[in-house]
Amino acid sequence: AEERTAATVADLMEEWLERHVRTKRKSRTASGYASLMTVHILPALGKRPAAGLTAGDLTTFHEGVARKAVKPSRPGVKRAPKTRATGGQTTANRCHAILRAAFRWGVRVGLLPKGSADATSAVEPYREGERTTFLDPDHVARLRDALALAEGEGLPTATGR
């Protein structure tokens, strides 16, 4: 059988999203990944050959997203009107994480030659500060129920007893 390869970053990312993410992750996770791909990854890197992406390419991309200034893939090409150029260090880190996951998956399933994911390891993520999160009413109710159960039956152990 003929071995299939991902010709471009867009080919790889779209295949990873359909074959891996949409089948193994929650739909909200898949939507978030698709959004980062649409807004940041594909405009900047989508037409590039996946196997030829270098650590320098990925570092430049990561820094560009962190500066909130992702440039179109070619000079003179404008973004689609519905695409907002958001970014920042946390967004840059998320984009890098999904690129790294997609490249590793691509190597594992034979879409990319061995060593293709090495370039993703060279990018150093930005430090992220603490974030404050608030529980919505559904989560508060689930926490209350879990605490009531723990008070009545005790907490489960690692062995399940």
Look at residue 107 and give its three-state secondary structure.
Answer: helix
pLDDT of residue 4: 59
Q: Residue 3, Cβ neighbours under 10 Å: how many?
A: 6
């295949």: which residue's tokens?
15
Question: What is the pLDDT, as a whole number, of residue 81?
Answer: 46
Distance of CA 121 to the CA centre of its chain: 14
Give the span between the Cα atoms of 123 and 104, in whole angstroms.
14
Helix axes 89-108, 55-66, angle to 10 degrees: 150
State the pLDDT at residue 97. Answer: 96
Distance CA(59)–CA(157), nearest Å, equals: 43
pLDDT of residue 116: 84
Cα angle 101, 41, 23 (rounded to 5 degrees) comes to 45
Q: Round to whole Å and give the CA distance between 41 and 65.
A: 9
Q: For residue 137, what pLDDT is reported?
A: 92
Q: Where are the beta strands (DSSP E) in the chain?
A: none
pLDDT at 152 (0 to 100): 84
pLDDT along the chain (161 residues), means of 10: 70 96 95 95 95 94 82 53 67 95 95 89 87 87 90 72 49
CA distance 143 to 136: 11
Query: Could you give the residue ranges of the DSSP H alpha helices within the chain?
Result: 9-16, 22-24, 27-36, 42-45, 55-66, 89-108, 118-121, 137-153
To 10 degrees, what angle do helices 89-108 and 9-16 make? 80
